[in-house]
Amino acid sequence: MTRAPSIKTPLPGPRAKAVIDRDKAVVSPSYTRGYPLVIARGEGSAVEDVDGNVFLDCAAGIAVNSTGHSHPDVVKAITDQAQKFLHMSGTDFYYEPQVRLAEEMAAITPIAGGVRTFFGNSGTEAVEACLKLSRYATGRSNLIAFLGGFHGRTMGSLALTSSKAIQRRGFGPLMAGVYHAPYADCYRCPLGLSSTDCAAECLDFVEHQIFVHLVSPDEVAAVVVEPIQGEGGYVVAPEQFLQRLRELTKPHGILLVADEVQSGMGRSGKMFAIEYSSVEPDMMAIAKGIASGLPLGVAVARGGLMAWPPGAHASTFGGNPVSCAAALATIKLLKDTLVANAADVGAHLMNGLRSLIDKHPLIGDVRGRGLMVGVELVRDRRTKERATMERDAVVNAAFNRGLLILGAGKNAVRFSPPLVLTREEADTAVRIFDESLTEVETARR
């Protein structure tokens, strides 16, 4: 493939326009297409569209293509398994790829004392499994989540989601028994504290408001938290926040569920982002990067918790053998080189983006871990007024220059490239982002 980026036509090109026109007639309008990319093929961190334009991919299919596009080891694992059998339903029969993957999950997840895994097809299904298991294991019905969180769009997980009102609008009443607390967004501290003072203080809301005025802690089944909020704006929870949350839940028998759908599988520079805090959750929801693009979601839990009987929960397609084979190849690549590469190149990318702060007044904050980096854009650094339109303009300006990035939250840009990204490619991404910011800032004057 031609080295990225290489833009040959106005965007979208004629072939892309034709596909987009066909799409409008037959595909659900609920999809959120940020810009008119029509992919033809991908390789590593590069994507070629149907008109031959080549882009540097810092979106990775929304943090899914962890090993890059069509990594040969993953493709071989998929092909080898596909030639044996495609499906047998692991909820009714046995096959080794599913058992091997469950063994791998027990080995890599930061939960001690034995781990069991439930297999589904997506992140929202993994969250749903955690919700059902939390209620079943505790005999309690209530749940606590955090403002700005995104946990999926099916009806149970949607009740936890509070990233954008449009995601909930028109679907009520949602599942009852869900309470939301402020998340530790220290750039925009919900308590009005300085960033140096804001770490875990917002958990006072859980302890002194929710537990006092709304629901008794002995009626709460679980607290569900993203160690790094994804859709909410790539907001990194301070280590103290997660540590105090664990201290808050444990005495009341409340389960701690870590939603690592986006932050897991090496993206943060560790296998799971919660490892930075040394906190051990009771359950984890994992998806996106686990199978390099094939549909797979898993819920992992302490073995003693996942003790529900046959028929309590199942999935016809969950743990598909081809997806399991892709996941096993993915995990090997992550353990061998890619988690370390995410930490190294992620730090390099972060430094490059932070070097733009003095040059560009639109940049309010640069944050993240590993190759999960967010840049929050503001119209005024003092008031932190959100630069929502400008954010969209920057994303589109980058696209026109051959860089694929996505928005997150109201006004942040997310960099979530494949974990094979090189330092040279990171420098290219920073250069194009720099040019895109200049274009938008110039147009504002």
* Residue 259: strand pairing partners: 285
pTM of this structure:
0.95
Share of the chain above pLDDT 70, in %: 99
How many C-beta neighbours within 10 Å does residue 320 have?
A: 26
What is the residue extent of each domain of the chain?
Answer: 14-70+337-444, 74-334
- Residue 192, pLDDT > 80, answer no
* Distance of alpha carbon 59 from alpha carbon 37, whole angstroms: 12
pLDDT of residue 351: 98
Identify residue 368 by its one-letter amino acid code.
G
User: Does domain 74-334 bear CATH number 3.40.640.10?
Assistant: yes
pLDDT confidence of 97, banded at 50, 70, 90? very high
CA angle at residue 397 from 392 to 398, to 5 degrees? 100
Q: What is the dihedral of CA 79, 83, 84, 85, to 10 degrees?
A: 90
Q: What is the pLDDT of residues 355-414, one digit of tens each?
A: 999 999 999 999 999 999 999 999 999 999 999 999 999 999 999 999 999 999 999 999
* Residue 412: strand pairing partners: 376, 408
Closest residue by Cα to residue 74 from 281, 265, 292, 222:
292
Please tell me the class of the 14-70+337-444 domain.
alpha beta
Identify residue 442 by its one-letter amino acid code.
T
pLDDT of residue 195: 66
Domains 14-70+337-444 and 74-334 share a fold: no
* Residue 367: strand pairing partners: 374
Which residue is associated with the tokens 């700005």? Answer: 148
pLDDT of residue 200: 77
pLDDT of residue 78: 98
pLDDT of residue 254: 98
Closest residue by Cα to residue 341 from 247, 267, 251:
267
pLDDT confidence of 196, banded at 50, 70, 90? low
Mean pLDDT of 191-209: 81
Identify whether the C-beta of residue 438 lies closer than 8 Å to the C-beta of residue 430.
no
Closest residue by Cα to residue 371 from 110, 163, 60:
60
CA distances from 294 to 68, 75, 209, 330, 406 (A): 12, 11, 42, 11, 21
Q: What is the pLDDT of residues 53-90, one digit of tens each?
A: 999 999 999 999 999 999 999 999 999 999 999 999 99
Biggest CA–CA distance in the chain, Å, is: 65
